């Protein structure tokens, strides 16, 4: 990067206008010496309590930690109701754009009205406090409506990504045993998918069928509706018992009660659902959103994540709605073929704050360079990215070409188990250094630990594990239905002191800013050298005919461990060229890293199996490798 380019980026960052969270507030947050005092200050400043809490933090590793013990809170009052006595009442809360171009706008008042109707309806069906409600739907407004309806009555919502199979859905239903499942007739995200048929198939595989299934009509496709079990969303919302509902009994929840569950990736066979509590989660969703994005009355904010991920929960639903933000919700995913829709949406709704991924920005860059699909977005003031490292060429193109050097860019490190972001530069405040995630956000007790000595690392350029040295309000409470597994998996001991293991590696640079080095389980010790699987993959992709690849390590009787590379070619070659291609790939690895990184086997595949968020499914590849 040129020094001129750097200065332009830093100036935009420093000049970022802050209205909602001022420097005085941030200085106040940073002035506290202990966690309990600062958490108490934040909880009283940013949340509305029906009953004050008596303790900020209680508990230990064995019994689990509780935050804001004794406090009682009405979540919907903090998310929506507080806005109904202000000018925000008639402000757009959700602007939804369907994959087919259909559009809907919900004001804070109309969103509240539909949430109360939905809450009234599911109460009538017998859903009660503590019951699980499975939401298996694409990014549509009704998904958010049911999430908020659950928080109103104290039911636990479980959002499960719409792309997963019936088998996977059945496993989760068996695990959490929901009283109610909500789905759609079809999904048109990335093409048509028969959602209701998939749910019906999952129901045939479960131990205990949910009592009810509510179906949102998305395409109007005729689907099977089982009498007494299946109900249309539009029918229950138009029922006069719920249609005229304007309020429900005001029943606050305990701050430490479970608000929602989120299934996440795991290295154990059983499904793993993290649980999050009302008080701690809502506090950090709100505070971290304000730290990262702030708010102005004229903002239009777009988070391109799927609602089903923690980024979607915290920075597409709860954080921005608590802040009174206008949230843009898009049903589809942006790819090379529909990149024009991204520009259409940004132009039409004057998006000025964007939370996305480097992959999406790369897609836009490719669309501009290869398909000539491009419009500059001068309205963008802030672009936050997360989920992967931003490469220099993507950052430079996005800043100079896409945003005409008008936007601030920040890199965010979020942790699912922590309920949201834990590292990032705060726009308008502090330092900014590209290639890093800066420093831990205020109040986050994150440090770098040596994985061998278990000592805190303060030196630069020394790799370790990012850990939390003490409990944190939004941290997951436990793994549902698996007592003790959360503590065993995440809470570790170093010289008699507990710490929370994130599993993510990092190192400080000479300025004390954090550089992420990847998952520690993707880092290997081979030939006395630490090697990252990602590093080897990047080397292989330097070979001209490689489209994508994945490297795994498997046990080997002779060597103890060996590497296998799966490669997808840009152009399929005749088998007679197979050996030469393998030799060329090996030569590329030798040139980029060295002999120590050479895989024992190089195999060719048509695809690389990936999760919905783009992560390589290495465990599945290991199973395939063993069977081949």
CA 51 to chain centre: 31
- According to DSSP, the residues that pair with 73 across neighbouring strands are 253
- State phi, psi for 26 to the nearest 5 degrees: -65, -40
Give the pLDDT confidence score for residue 520 in this predicted structure: 76
Half-sphere exposure of 99 toward its Cβ, with a 13 Å CA cutoff?
20
Euclidean distance between CA atoms 15 and 350, whole angstroms: 20
Instruction: Give 10-residue mean pLDDT values along the chain (628 residues).
Output: 74 93 92 91 97 87 84 97 96 97 97 95 94 97 98 96 83 95 94 92 95 97 96 91 70 95 68 93 98 95 94 97 97 90 96 94 92 90 91 91 93 94 94 92 96 93 94 94 90 90 94 89 54 82 92 68 89 81 89 76 90 76 80
Euclidean distance between CA atoms 109 and 88, whole angstroms: 9
Euclidean distance between CA atoms 79 and 90, whole angstroms: 15
Mean pLDDT of the chain: 90
CATH topology of domain 527-627: GMP Synthetase; Chain A, domain 3 (3.30.300)
264 dihedral zone (left: phi>0; alpha: psi -120 to 50; beta): beta
Give the pLDDT confidence score for residue 528 in this predicted structure: 39
Q: Tally helices (H) and strands (E) across the chain.
A: 20, 30
Q: Do the beta carbons of residue 123 and residue 226 sit within 8 Å? A: no
Return the domain boundaries, the chain.
32-333, 446-471+486-519, 527-627
CATH class of the domain defined by 446-471+486-519: mainly beta
Q: Do the beta carbons of residue 128 and residue 117 sit within 8 Å? A: no
Residue keyed to tokens 């024992």: 600
Give the pLDDT confidence score for residue 558 in this predicted structure: 47
pLDDT digits (tens, 9 = 90+) for 205-257: 999 999 999 999 999 999 999 999 999 999 999 887 766 666 677 789 999 99
446-471+486-519 and 32-333 share a CATH fold: no
C-alpha distances in angstroms, 570 versus 415, 580, 604? 34, 16, 11
Give the pLDDT confidence score for residue 523 in this predicted structure: 62
Give the pLDDT confidence score for residue 495 in this predicted structure: 84
CA 585 to chain centre: 35
Euclidean distance between CA atoms 373 and 363, whole angstroms: 11
pLDDT digits (tens, 9 = 90+) for 410-468: 999 999 999 999 999 999 987 899 999 999 999 999 999 999 899 999 999 999 999 99
Euclidean distance between CA atoms 530 and 71, whole angstroms: 48
- State phi, psi for 614 to the nearest 5 degrees: 95, 0
Give the pLDDT confidence score for residue 626 in this predicted structure: 79
What superfamily would CATH give domain 32-333? Answer: ANL, N-terminal domain (3.40.50.12780)
Give the pLDDT confidence score for residue 577 in this predicted structure: 79
Give the pLDDT confidence score for residue 123 in this predicted structure: 93
Residue keyed to tokens 């405040």: 429
Residue 525: name the closest of 549, 553, 551, 503 by CA: 553
């Amino acid at each position: 990067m040129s020094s001129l380019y750097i200065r332009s980026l830093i100036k935009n960052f420093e000049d970022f206008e802050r209205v909602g969270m001022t420097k005085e507030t941030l200085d106040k947050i940073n002035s506290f010496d202990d966690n309990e005092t600062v958490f108490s200050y934040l909880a009283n400043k940013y949340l509305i309590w029906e009953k004050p809490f008596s303790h900020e933090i209680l508990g230990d590793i064995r019994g689990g930690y509780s935050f804001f013990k004794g406090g009682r809170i009405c979540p919907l009052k903090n998310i929506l109701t507080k806005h109904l006595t202000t000018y925000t009442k008639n402000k757009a809360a959700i602007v939804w754009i369907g994959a087919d171009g259909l559009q809907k706008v919900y004001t804070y008042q109309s969103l509240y009205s539909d949430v109360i109707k939905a809450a009234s309806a599911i109460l009538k069906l017998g859903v009660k406090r503590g019951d699980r409600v499975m939401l298996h739907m694409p990014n549509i407004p009704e998904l958010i409506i049911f999430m908020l309806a659950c928080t109103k009555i104290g039911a636990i919502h479980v959002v499960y990504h719409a792309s997963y199979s019936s088998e996977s859905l059945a496993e989760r239903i068996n695990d959490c045993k929901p009283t109610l499942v909500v789905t759609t007739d079809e999904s048109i995200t990335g093409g048509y998918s028969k959602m209701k048929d998939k749910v019906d198939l999952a129901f045939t595989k479960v131990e205990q069928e949910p009592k009810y299934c509510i179906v949102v009509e998305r395409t109007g496709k005729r689907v099977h509706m089982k009498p007494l079990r299946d109900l249309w969303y539009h029918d229950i919302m138009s029922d006069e018992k719920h249609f005229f509902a304007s309020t429900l009994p005001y029943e606050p929840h305990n701050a430490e009660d479970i608000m929602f569950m989120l299934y996440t990736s795991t290295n154990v066979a059983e499904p793993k659902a993290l649980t999050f509590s009302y008080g701690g989660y809502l506090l950090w969703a709100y505070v971290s959103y304000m730290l990262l994005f702030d708010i102005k009355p004229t903002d239009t904010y777009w988070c391109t994540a799927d609602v089903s991920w923690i980024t979607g929960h915290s920075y597409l639903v709860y954080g921005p709605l608590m802040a009174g933000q206008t949230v843009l919700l898009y049903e589809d995913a942006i790819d090379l073929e529909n990149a024009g829709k991204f520009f259409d949406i940004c132009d039409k709704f004057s998006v000025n704050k964007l939370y996305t991924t480097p992959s999406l920005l790369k897609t836009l860059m490719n669309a501009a360079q290869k398909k000539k699909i491009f419009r500059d977005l001068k309205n963008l003031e802030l672009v936050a990215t997360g989920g992967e490292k931003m490469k220099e060429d993507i950052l430079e193109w996005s800043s100079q070409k896409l945003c005409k050097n008008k936007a601030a860019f920040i890199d965010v490190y979020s942790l699912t188990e922590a309920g949201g972001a834990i590292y990032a530069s705060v726009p308008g405040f502090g330092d900014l250094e590209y290639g890093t995630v800066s420093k831990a956000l205020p109040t986050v007790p994150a440090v770098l630990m040596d994985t061998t000595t278990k000592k805190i690392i303060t030196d630069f350029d020394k790799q370790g594990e990012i850990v939390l040295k003490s409990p944190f309000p939004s941290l997951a409470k436990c793994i549902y239905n698996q007592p003790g597994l959360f503590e065993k998996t995440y809470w570790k001991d170093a010289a008699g002191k507990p710490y929370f293991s994130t599993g993510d590696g990092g190192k400080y640079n000479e300025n004390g800013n954090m550089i992420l080095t990847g998952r520690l389980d993707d880092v290997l010790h081979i030939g006395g050298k630490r090697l990252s699987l990602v590093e080897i993959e990047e080397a292989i992709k330097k070979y001209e005919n490689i489209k994508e690849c994945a490297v795994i390590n498997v046990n080997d009787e002779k060597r103890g461990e060996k590497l296998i590379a799966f490669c997808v070619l840009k152009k399929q070659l005749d088998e007679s060229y197979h050996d030469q291609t393998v030799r060329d790939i090996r030569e590329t690895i030798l040139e980029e890293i060295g002999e120590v990184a050479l895989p024992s086997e190089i195999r060719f595949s048509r695809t690389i199996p990936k999760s919905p968020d783009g992560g390589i499914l290495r465990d599945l590849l290991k199973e395939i490798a063993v069977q081949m």
